[in-house]
């Protein structure tokens, strides 16, 4: 299920795909989804393989151990995003 509340069916899966985040290489299974405007969406399935994660939302970073070393991934700063109220409106109207 995506944020709009819509359920998507994946027509396929690519297994063990290598990808890099801030010079660190990871492997994950990627489900093919028709999401316009997004190349990749990493969700809880990927986060689970990282083990314990220390989050600092003030600094926009997450720290964890990967392949016997400490990794800190930092979010992009100075970016703003629009938040859609569509899912909240649907929830309110269904109550």
Query: Where do the structural domains in the chain lie, given as residue ranges?
Result: 13-78
End-to-end CA distance of the chain: 20
- pLDDT at site 8: 79
pLDDT digits (tens, 9 = 90+) for 32-60: 887 788 778 888 888 999 999 999 999 99
Whether the Cβ atoms of residue 4 and residue 87 lie closer than 8 Å to each other: yes
Dist. CA 46–CA 1, nearest whole Å? 16
Mean pLDDT of the chain: 84
Dist. CA 2–CA 17, nearest whole Å? 22
According to DSSP, residue 86 is labeled H
Residue for token pair 């359920």: 7
- pLDDT at site 67: 94
pTM (two decimals): 0.65
Helix or strand run (H / E) with residue 27: strand 24-31
């Amino acid at each position: 299920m995506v944020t709009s509340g819509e359920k998507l069916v994946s027509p396929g899966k690519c297994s063990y795909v290598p990808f890099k985040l801030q010079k660190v290489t990871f492997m994950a299974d990627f489900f093919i989804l028709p999401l316009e405007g997004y190349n990749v969406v990493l969700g809880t399935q990927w986060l689970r393989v990282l083990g314990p994660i220390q989050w600092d939302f003030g600094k926009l970073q997450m720290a964890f151990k990967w392949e016997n070393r400490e990794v800190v991934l930092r979010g992009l700063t100075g970016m703003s995003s629009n938040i859609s109220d569509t899912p909240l409106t649907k929830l309110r109207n269904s109550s």
